[in-house]
Amino acid sequence: MQSLNTSPVTSGAAARITISVDAMGGDKGPAVVVAGLVDSIRQRPDLDILLHGDQALLQPLLEREPGLKGRVTLRHAPGVVTMEDKPAQVMRHGQDTSMWATIDSVRDGAAAAAVSCGNTGALMAVSMIRLRKLPGINRPAIACLWPSRNPGEFNVMLDVGADVKADPSDLLQYAVMGSAYAANGLSIARPRVGLLNVGTEEHKGRAELKEANELLAREADRGGFQHMGFVEGSDIPGASVDVIVTDGFTGNVALKTGEGTARLVAERLKESFTSGLLAKIGALLALPALKRFQKRIDPRRANGGVFLGLRGTVVKSHGGSDATGIAAAIGLAYQLALSGLTEGIAARLASIAAAGQDAPLMAPGDSAGAGIKGGSTE
């Protein structure tokens, strides 16, 4: 495990955390990324930034912000990955892009984690080939934080879009990785994990989900989580579990459905409050309460899909992120690097793999199973 170059990068007597940030590729341009840097650096005195992108564009933006002096190192990268670029193209010809350089800083050990608001497919492809998968991982996953009724106000859900398929052994790996994320990101020592299905009864749903449910029950102790069985869509924002596990197709649909529904409700509310004089006066009196409400349901607070299962932490910020969203994504990358997320995942996977060597849990020829066993010998 010592070979994983993912431990927080420290320099000098006081430990400092360096985060690698892609300045290009977001819908709102590099000025918004620089504004996000200002917010995140002000709050964290031990944070440094490696910023990748077009020097001619970025240098003047950085010089205008005195707070960034001595904290941001600019690395010129001439190429930009656009939202239209196909992942395969970027994998072959993307070496000169800011996205590639952002990931390579984590690979080289110059930074502890990476943040980009560029093209998700390309970012996952570049992360896979440059960072590579953790020992034993079959499919990396993208995890998101979902506003919930739990004390920490968020649940972890994965996969929300790395891969449209997941077999039972992938779902077990998602449970393990999601638990490590909840442990490091939300400080829940032994998270409760639910498997997303169309009902909570054991006979419901697809056959592969029943198999996955049994596998999760068997491996929960070794994986460091509590097995809660099946959950439904209504449990994603609920308080009955901390981590929701599903395939990337279902997870992506659920995430976008939830976002779309919350947006519609907020629109309707705004329409109501501007529908007449009394309503407007009422809204004015309730303004501080409404602002608190807005802040609690603000999707930017939970900005940042985290790529799990790689040799390093990558946070994908929303393509349309503003400065607040980018600062939240950098804050998340900082917290996950500081708490050693990658090491936490590797340790949990190793625990399952060690048990797998005594009594094989995976079917022979199962690539995930073979990978897990191979991983423990590294």
Chain residues in the site for its own copies (CB under 8 A): 86, 147-149, 161, 164-165, 196, 198, 203, 205-206, 232-238, 246, 248-250, 252-269, 271-273, 275-276, 278-279, 281-290, 292-293, 296-297
CB of 123 to its own copies, least distance (A): 15
Whose Cβ is closer to its own copies: residue 42's or residue 149's?
A: 149
For 295, the enclosing helix (H) or strand (E) is: helix 287-296
Distance CA 255, CA 244 (A): 12
CB of 192 to its own copies, least distance (A): 17
**Tokens standing for 58?**
């970025």
Whose Cβ is closer to its own copies: residue 36's or residue 161's?
A: 161
User: Which amino acid is located at 149 in the chain?
Assistant: R
CB of 70 to its own copies, least distance (A): 41
Structure-token match 């976002």, residue found? 259
CB of 296 to its own copies, least distance (A): 5
User: In angstroms, what is the C-alpha Rg of the chain?
Assistant: 21
CB of 50 to its own copies, least distance (A): 30
Nearest CA among 233, 198, 219 for reference residue 362: 219
Whose Cβ is closer to its own copies: residue 151's or residue 364's?
A: 151
Contacts of 18 (CB under 8 A, 6+ apart): 9, 11, 47, 48, 49, 50, 110, 111, 112
User: Which amino acid is located at 86 in the chain?
Assistant: K
CB of 360 to its own copies, least distance (A): 29
Whose Cβ is closer to its own copies: residue 1's or residue 164's?
A: 164
Instruction: Indicate if the alpha-carbon torsion angle 348, 196, 171, 214 is positive or negative.
Output: positive
Whose Cβ is closer to its own copies: residue 64's or residue 204's?
A: 204
The secondary structure of 90-150 as a DSSP string is: HHHH-TTBHHHHHHHHHHTTS-SEEEE-S-HHHHHHHHHHHH-BPTT-SS-EEEEEEE-SS
Instruction: Indicate if the alpha-carbon torsion angle 175, 196, 337, 119 is positive or negative.
Output: positive
Whose Cβ is closer to its own copies: residue 65's or residue 232's?
A: 232
Half-sphere exposure of 36 (CA within 13 A, CB side): 34
CB of 284 to its own copies, least distance (A): 7
Whose Cβ is closer to its own copies: residue 11's or residue 274's?
A: 274
Whose Cβ is closer to its own copies: residue 9's or residue 254's?
A: 254
Contacts of 331 (CB under 8 A, 6+ apart): 40, 43, 44
CB of 132 to its own copies, least distance (A): 25
